[in-house]
Amino acid sequence: MPVSIEVNGERHVLDVPRARRLLAVLREDLALTGAKHGCGEGACGACAVLLDGRAVVSCLLPVGAAEGRSVTTIEGLAREGRSLLEAFVAEDALQCGFCTPGQVVSATALLASVPRPTRDEIRVAMAGNLCRCGAYPKIERAILRASGQEGRA
């Protein structure tokens, strides 16, 4: 039975196994390669996307679990609003950039629920997003900047 999901505002009816991972569907079936395949085990956050506004790791999520729900990837976020992306650039909050889509997705979910997070709240919310390059202080500053707390950055 086909799976119907909305991705970045567009409805897709997909003839794929329901157990197929959402990350594979996004990258291989829908050519949305922004979400990255890092660990593949739910431990790094590189594959994070928003599911009905909540950040989830798409490498573990069966696409059937997203049936009838709304998925937003980094491509959708790039279309919707640029302030967070611009803050990442302004703070030089990346080196290789592999983790960046997941970082931006998780930061988006954080700012939607906590518009002016403290440093501690940022650290807790972003704990599932690993950065092998160690850009954590700059990522934190980018989130503070995007939340209008530049002076604390």
Query: Applying CB under 6 A, which residues contact ligand FES?
Result: 37-40, 42-47, 57, 59, 94-99, 131-133, 135
* Secondary structure element (H or E) that encloses residue 21, with its range: none
Least separation in angstroms between residue 98's CB and ligand FES is 5
| Alpha carbons 102 and 134: distance in angstroms, whole number | 15
- Rank residues 11 and 142 by Cβ distance to ligand FES and give the closer one: 142
HSE of 61 in the Cβ direction (CA atoms, 13 Å)? 22
Closest CA to 47 of 71, 17, 64: 71
CB 34 within 8 A of CB 73: yes
- Rank residues 134 and 148 by Cβ distance to ligand FES and give the closer one: 134
Helix (H, G, I), strand (E, B) or coil at 70: strand
- Rank residues 96 and 116 by Cβ distance to ligand FES and give the closer one: 96
Helix (H, G, I), strand (E, B) or coil at 32: coil
CB 113 within 8 A of CB 55: no
Least separation in angstroms between residue 151's CB and ligand FES is 25
Question: Phi, psi (5° rounding) for residue 123?
Answer: -65, -40
- Rank residues 8 and 98 by Cβ distance to ligand FES and give the closer one: 98
Least separation in angstroms between residue 47's CB and ligand FES is 3
- Rank residues 33 and 95 by Cβ distance to ligand FES and give the closer one: 95
Least separation in angstroms between residue 14's CB and ligand FES is 20
Least separation in angstroms between residue 1's CB and ligand FES is 26
